[in-house]
Structure formats: structure tokens, C-alpha cells
Amino acid sequence: MVDASKTNASDDVEVGIRPPPRRLIGLLASIGPGIVVIGSVMGSGELINTPKQAAEFGFVLLWAVILSCVIKYFLQIEIGRHALAHNRTPLESLNSLPFPKFRGTSWIGLLFVATSIPTSLALAGMLGATAGLLHALLPLGADATISAQIWMVILAIVILALLWRGVYQEMEKLITVLVLGFSVSVVMGLLLIQGTEFAITRKELLSGLTFSLGDNPNLAAYAVISLMGALGATANELFMYPYWILEKGYTKYVGSPDSQGWTERTRGWIRVLQVDVGLCTILTTIITVAYFLIGASVLHAQGINPTGLGVVDELARMFTDTYGEWSRIVFLLGGFCTLFSTMVVGLAAFGRMWGDTLVCLQFIPRDDPIKLKKSHRVVEVTYLIVLVPVALLSQDPAANVIFAQFFAGLVSTPLLMFAICWLAFRTDKRVRMGKVSAVFLIASGIVIIACVLIAAGHAVSEAISP
């Protein structure tokens, strides 16, 4: 028998060790955090912001949509690699950087948490848009505004009920179903468009790949910053990714850093992360581009720019005249899956971020999971208490979404990008990125900063011009 007095923390970690899968089927069966990220990002940016920018500018910003989706791949990989190698939450990782600290917590982490507050306005916009969508499907009265407001309250209660248990595995399964739902609906929508007078031509596609800002570069620059903050793995999703890695259990699978075979196991699970992030990036790019092309081909061609609580229903009407009511319902159901999944994951992520903040600030013991889980619930309830009135009072959900994502693109994304790049070069040398990955990581950062600076210059020029 094993002498219990001789067991230690390292032995406890060893119990969860699992060798990484080597075959493709095993790799695909082991992914999960990326699916949660997809469920989080495929919401306001793709269904509201992207079609609205397409309606405003046409195909000209297609390049910005694609770039915004794929450019953050290496950033997501590196923050995931660091979390996996060191078994740290995002704030714990940032605390390891040589920056001034308050109560043991890095100022850069606290600053990012603070900048996430304005970006949560997007959740209020999504709540309003989803309520308007549900009114279109199941009106709760003749007055559209009152009906939508009732749906907002119902949605808030349902979301809170789903999040109350706080079990990662249950959330991952729910989000997988929702991701499947909106993926099928938007691809079907893009195919349906090709059978109408709004069919997309090769010339139109190529016109969107010229890195142009169109006829109104100053106004388009605002859109580029908003898209950079809205699409792909946004700043919030990049920051939250390690939480899903930890809850999935990857860090337990690799074992203790001083255990035999740790380097090989960790490299193997990093490959799983690369597949996870790669599929996440590919799927988000395909779906986002589909939403953009639908908006550019139909809405821009007719001079329609959807606004108000019925923004999603207005987007759905582009199918109705050609294919009938069934196509509208398919699009609305897919839109519901898109927005609802984002709200669920977004609120769950904010709960974990603030819980982590309270732990790092030493207000909650790190070894008390009950108090930590309770803090998640308190944060989620608080966000809903604040966001529901904002949504009830707002008549233009899209404006809330676009402003929040403009702020994220201008402030949150560059801030976190700087922190991730710093972390990447401090990851355990045994599993650190190679030279090629380092070049691509730095190049990604340069491109993001360049896009933000150039676009910000145009936006400022527009603001100060008479």
C-alpha cells in the first residue's frame, strides 16, 4: 500500500495525466475550447456588425473582414500555450510579467479588465437584437417594442438559469449545437443568394480584396477598427481562452513540469490546441465572410441599412421575397443560435474573469472553489441587472454593438496583443514557440497595430473635419 504521508501535490497532479492523441480522429475528439470561443465570437460581430458594414460600404471591406478573422490565430495559440505549460489563468499569467502590481496583481491585467467594461455594451445590443428576433418569430402582442422588451426579460432569466450550474461540459455541448445551427443557416443563406438577382460575381469578390477604404475612407476607417475588434477571436475571447483550456482539463493531462515525459506530453497537447484554434479560425472566417457577402450583395445593392430592434428581421427579409417565408424562418433561427450562444458564453466568461480578478486581488482564497463559483454567479447576475435596463432603454442595438467593438479594436485588442507577445517569449523554453511561429506572431502584432493606427488617423480626420 502507498503511505499517504508520502504523497504530495505532484502525485495528485499525476493522477490526471493523459497522453495526447496522435490520430486525426483523436485530435478532433479532444478539441472543445475553440468551439466555446466560436460560440462566443459568432454573435454581434458576425450577425449585426458585419452585415451593417457590408450594407454601408459594399464589398470594399471584404479584405478587412478576412484579415480580422485570421490575424489573431498566433495570438490565440500563444496565450493558450502559456496557460497549458504553466497551468495559469490569464491574470496569473499577466502577473508573471515584470510590471508594477497592486495587491499582487499586474496593472496591465487590471487595465484590461477595466477596458472590458465598455465592451460589455455589446451584450446589451445582442439582448435587444435577440429580443427583436424573437418578436419576429413569436410576437407577444401587437406593440413590437413592448413585445421585444418582454422577450428581453425572458431571455435574461433563461440565460441565468443555464449559467447557474456553471458546468463547462454542459456549456460546451450546448454551444456545439448552437454553432451547428447558425453554421448551417448562414451557409444555406449564401447558397440561396446565388439563385436570386443578387448573385455574387467574381468581379465583386475581387473588388473586396484590394485593401481599399472605398469612396469614404474616413468613415470606412471607423468600420475597420470596429471589425478588428469584433471579428475572429476578439480581445475578450483571446483573454478568456485559457479559462476554457483549464476547465476542459488540458493542464491536468500534461502533469507536473518536473514529471517524466512532461515535455513530450505538453507538445502533444499543444498540437491539440493548434488544431482547436485552427478549426475555430477557419469556421469563424467562413461564417463571417458568408454574413458579409450576403449583406454586401443584397443590402448594399438596395441601399438598405438595417437599424432598430428589428435589425435581424430586416436582414432576414432579403430571402423572403425570393424563396418565401420558410427561408426567413431558417435565417432567423440561425440568427437566434448565433446571438444566444454569444450571450451565454460572454456572460460565463465575464464571471470567470472577475472571479479570477478577485482571487488575484486576494479577496477570495485560491483554494476555495465554492466561493469562486459563487463569485461567478454574482458577476453574471450583476451584468444582467445592469445590461437588461440598458437594452430596454435602447432603440438601436446595432449602435451599442458597433461602439463596443470599436472600443475593443482601438484599446483592448492592442493592449492584450502586447501582453500576449511578451508572455510568448517567457513560456517554458522546453515548449516555447519556434522561430517561424515567433516571426508570424510579431508580424501579426505589427499588422494589427498598423491597421488600428491608420484607421484611427482616418477616423480622427473625419471627426475634426468641418
Domains of the chain, by residue range, sit at 19-464
**Residue 207 binned pLDDT confidence (cut-offs 50, 70, 90):** confident
pLDDT tops 80 at residue 242? yes
pTM: 0.80
Instruction: Provide the 3-class DSSP secondary structure of residue 102.
Output: strand
- Would you tell me how many other CB atoms lie within 10 Å of the CB of residue 119? 25
130 versus 171: the higher-pLDDT residue is: 130
Q: What element of type H or E holds 105?
A: strand 105-106
Mean pLDDT of 357-376: 89
The reported pLDDT for the residue numbered 7 is: 38
Pull the grid cell for residue 371: 466561493
Number of residues assigned to the chain? 466
pLDDT tops 80 at residue 147? yes
Mean pLDDT of 214-222: 67
The reported pLDDT for the residue numbered 9 is: 39
* Cβ neighbours for 339, distance < 8 A, ≥ 6 positions apart: 43, 44, 47, 126, 129, 130, 133, 312
The reported pLDDT for the residue numbered 86 is: 92
The reported pLDDT for the residue numbered 381 is: 92
The reported pLDDT for the residue numbered 169 is: 64
Closest CA to 459 of 235, 225, 115: 225
User: Fold for domain 19-464?
Assistant: Amino acid/polyamine transporter I (1.20.1740)
pLDDT tops 50 at residue 1? no
Mean pLDDT of 187-191: 78
Percent of the chain scored above 90 by pLDDT? 16
pLDDT tops 60 at residue 364? yes
The reported pLDDT for the residue numbered 311 is: 60
Mean pLDDT of 427-448: 90
Q: Evaluate whether 338 touches 50 at the Cβ level (below 8 Å).
A: no
Residue with cell 508570424: 440
Mean pLDDT of 411-432: 89
pLDDT tops 60 at residue 10? no
Mean pLDDT of the chain: 80
Alpha carbon 427 to its chain's center? 24
pLDDT tops 70 at residue 458? no
Count CA atoms closer than 13 A to 400's CA, side-chain side.
25
pLDDT tops 60 at residue 268? yes
Mean pLDDT of 399-410: 79
